[in-house]
Amino acid sequence: MNTDILMKCYCKSREMTSYYSNLLNNDSLNNMEKDIIYDLLLNNVNASVTIKKIFDHTDETESMLEKNCSS
């Protein structure tokens, strides 16, 4: 299996999760906006978890995922 595409998806999902988390700290958002952003955040967390499960068969999963996302 070519994991390059999944790795890029995982990294982008983590990036977006961080972005949405930061947005939720914005006090100027109304409740509806916060709910929408929270749903988007959860979707990205679920995507990251799903992709990580694919890589769980290796002992080096965590370091491999973190190393590839930081480059």
Burial status of residue 60 (CB atoms within 10 A of its CB: 0-12, 13-18, 19 or more): exposed
Question: In total, how many domains does the chain have?
Answer: 1
pLDDT at 3: 80
Write out the residue range of the structural domain in which residue 29 sits: 4-70
The answer on pLDDT for 30 being more than 90 is yes
The answer on pLDDT for 55 being more than 90 is no
* pLDDT, tens digit, 9 for 90 and up, residues 38-50: 999 999 999 999 9
The alpha carbon torsion through 69, 9, 39, 34 (nearest 10 deg) reads: 50
